[in-house]
Amino acid sequence: MRIFAVALLAIAFAVPAAAGEDLVQLKKGPGLDKVETNCGACHSLDYVEMNSPFPNATVWDAEVTKMIKTFGAPIDESDAKIIADYLKKNYGS
């Protein structure tokens, strides 16, 4: 896990956050920290809010899977579940 965290930190440095995205505040709740470090490593978190609240649980699961399988996000299974649960609970239909 520590290695993962270090790798993600390196990613975050490789593509710095865009000016302004600090204004994006997702809902507080269990799993938000995982969303911020994992999802936020590759894209701003407004992607989540923009795509809400219409996705149902199946759609959010598919999105998380797509980010890992298609886009290569280095997220382990337990974190993926926490992230999907957070999205379903806070940004789902």
Partner 1 sequence: MSAPAYRSIDVRMLVHAGAEVVGNGRAVSRRRFLAGTGAAAVAASGAIGLGLAHAEAVSLNLPSALPEGTRATAVLDALPGKKPLIKLSYRPPNYETPIEYFRTAITPNDAFFVRYHLANIPEVDATTWKVVVGGESANGQTELTLDDLKKMPAVEVVAVNQCSGNRRGLFEPHVPGVEWGYGAMGCARWKGARLKDVLDKVGVKKEAIEIVFGGADEPVIAEMPDFIKSIPIWKAMEDSTLIAYEMNGQPLPHFNGFPARIVVPGWTGTYWVKHVTSIKAVPKPETGFWMNPAYRIPLGKFPVVERFTSQETAINTPITEMVVNSLITSHAEGAGVKASSLVTIGGIAWDGGYGISTVDLSTDSGKTWQRAKLGQDLGRFAFRTFEYSLRPVRRGRQIVMARATNKIGQTQTSELIQNPAGYHHNRIQSLMLNVA
* Site residues for partner 1 per CB under 8 A: 11, 14-15, 17-21, 23-24, 41-44, 46-55, 59, 63, 70-74, 91
| Least distance CB 52 / partner 1 (angstroms) | 3
| Least distance CB 33 / partner 1 (angstroms) | 19
| Least distance CB 7 / partner 1 (angstroms) | 9
Quick one: 1 or 16, whose CB is closer to partner 1? 16
Quick one: 25 or 78, whose CB is closer to partner 1? 25
Quick one: 39 or 82, whose CB is closer to partner 1? 39
Question: In angstroms, rounded to a whole number, what is the distance separating the alpha carbons of residues 75 and 23?
Answer: 25
Residue with tokens 């000016």: 19
At residue 80, what is the residue type?
A
Q: What's the half-sphere exposure (Cβ side, CA atoms, 13 Å) at 87?
A: 31
Residue with tokens 């996000």: 73
Question: In angstroms, rounded to a whole number, what is the distance separating the alpha carbons of residues 64 and 48?
Answer: 11
